[in-house]
Amino acid sequence: MIQFKAPLQDINFLINDVFDFQTHYKDIPGGEEASPEMVDAIIGEAARFSEEVLSPLYQVGDKEGCKFEDGKVTTPPGFKEAYQQYMEGGWQGMTSPVEYGGQGLPQSLGLIKSELIGTANWVWGMYPGLSQGAMNTIYLHGTEEQKQTYLVPLTEGRWTGTMCLTEPQCGTDLGQVKTKAEPNGDGSYSITGTKIFISSGEHDFTDNIVHIVLARLPGAPEGTRGISLFIVPKLKVEADGSATEANGVTCGSIEHKMGIHGSSTCVMNFDGATGYLIGPENKGLHCMFTFMNTARLGTSIQGIGAAELSYQGALPYAKERRSMRALTGKKSPDKVADALIVHPDVRRMLLTQKAIAEGGRAMLYYAAMLSDKMLAAHMEGDMKAYDAWDDKLGFLTPILKAGMTELGYEAANHGVQVFGGHGYIQEWGMEQIIRDTQIAKLYEGTTGVQALDLLGRKILLGRMKSFDAFREVVNEFIKTHKNTAEMKPMIRTLKRAMLGWRINTFRIALKAKKNRDMVGSASVDYLMYSAYIVMAYFWAKMADAAHTSIKKGENVDFCTAKIQTAEFYYDRILPRTRGHASMMMKDPETLMQMEEDHFAFL
């Protein structure tokens, strides 16, 4: 079993030395509450909860899984009790508006909380995570009455929420949604249809569950323009807020999955359930996708957490397990063999995990700051500023979501590889991380879908505006650091990478004008290529902050390791861009020329 330890030094290094959250919080509503002491206390408490309560439940959740019987779902032993503690601690409403029962703290702090929870036990964290999605939707699009009725109990954690999008015939392509919503004549609707893959659709944490459901009104236009959004509670809510009567929503079964066994993945049957329209008619997809960027940031945490947790599992093993001798001669001549960590390739795997976890975390925290700004603009009603921040965040979102889940998955694989054959044995807990992380590349938009979003929508449709904005941030950093002796070599490489990124992006855009298939054919290589360059910027930024601390004589060992990890990243990960750059520029023809019937002759 892996005992998770919160990487508090790494977190503090980012929020203090690299990004200076305190200055950032000065302009953020709720930021005044986030004093250094408050931030410390919250992170410390979330760390304790994650280490002591959630981490010990991680393997139990996998082994016991969710049980389904007679329409009821029983979560793994200990999950419910942990949720009770979470609810009582007021964690669910930490970043929610004060007027609906929340504490109004910045989104970025919420993401750090989610990171700690999600690293210790991603699967457990999915339950409150889904509630958060429902809460955001109701907050942004619900009427005041809907907020009082549903948002308050969700914020308090007394109820949980779900997002009901997928149906058997469609996941990505939500225009195919068939679930029907018939008006009841009293302002409510009768919802009928089947939704699948509904995480937290049914469980034993709370009595009531608030489903946010995509459905079609009678006579609605076909495709994505005819979909509306509804609130459908599991139990009907009375005027006094109590809820006991069933509302025609039942769980038909739960899925048998590769991993995340402790998360209930439900088939939900809506059989004339009473629902309430949320947001305008036929604008359901638009409403659903507000704050989608923030939701997808959440998913990127799964990749970052997987890298961190797998690293925390592999590192002690690499120090303890003895096998063979170092290539340069015995390191522990009195022992039967040297420790694994003397071997260069074992170090390569460990450092890859470390570079992914810490580089990803830096990207996430930067994005979290953008998310703070975006929400601030929203609360001030400045929709122009909101859109601008949303664009900036939107550019990084697919890179974080797809890039970090792919790399987190890779890191989990390295963790198993460090263990050798033992990594394949369930008791160690290493292989579970692979199985659990596999889903991160699939849900909330597969890697392929994210890549199309990045290249097709954010870059090409957005006419490179957000791309240019991000490049400007990096170029500013390059300009101010290019003559610093200790940063010079890294900055030189970064500058070259940034230049290549711009040129290659232009070339792809030109090619895409002639052949639309270029977008899809380049997309995934382009996304990974971009992710490595974005992460190179954050590693340079961390190296710079580390140099500054070392000059002040602060935290020298820790900061030396940061610089060494940055150097490793530039030497041993960033060059992967070369392969991707070459492949993404290729003509789509080699992908498109084969006739469908010629793919196999069986």
Give catalytic residues, as residue numbers. 444
User: 213: helix, coil or strand?
Assistant: strand
* Minimum distance from residue 324 beta carbon to its own copies (Å): 5
Residue tagged 């359901």 (tokens): 284
**C-alpha span between 33 and 187 (Å, rounded):** 40
* Minimum distance from residue 121 beta carbon to its own copies (Å): 17
Instruction: Report the half-sphere exposure of 309 (CA within 13 A, side-chain side).
Output: 37
Please give the backbone phi and psi of residue 416, each rounded to the nearest 5 degrees, phi first: -65, -40
Report the Cα–Cα distance between both ends of the chain, in Å, rounded: 45
**C-alpha span between 351 and 315 (Å, rounded):** 10
DSSP characters for 276-290? EEESSTTBHHHHHHT
- Locate 135 and state its tokens: 């809460």
Q: Which is nearer to its own copies, 312 or 371 (CB)?
A: 312
* Minimum distance from residue 63 beta carbon to its own copies (Å): 9
**C-alpha span between 103 and 161 (Å, rounded):** 19
* Minimum distance from residue 224 beta carbon to its own copies (Å): 10
* Minimum distance from residue 129 beta carbon to its own copies (Å): 17
The strand pair at 67-69 and 72-74 is best described as antiparallel
Q: How many other CB atoms are found less than 10 A from the CB of residue 79?
A: 26
For residue 39, give Cα distances in angstroms to 26, 32, 352. Answer: 14, 11, 30
How many residues are recorded in the chain?
602
* Minimum distance from residue 116 beta carbon to its own copies (Å): 13
Residue tagged 């469609």 (tokens): 170
C-alpha of 62 from chain center: 20
**C-alpha span between 272 and 184 (Å, rounded):** 10
**C-alpha span between 98 and 91 (Å, rounded):** 13
Contact 117, 54 (CB under 8 A): yes
* Minimum distance from residue 413 beta carbon to its own copies (Å): 8
The greatest distance separating any two alpha carbons of the chain, rounded to the nearest whole angstrom, comes to: 84
Q: Which is nearer to its own copies, 16 or 475 (CB)?
A: 16
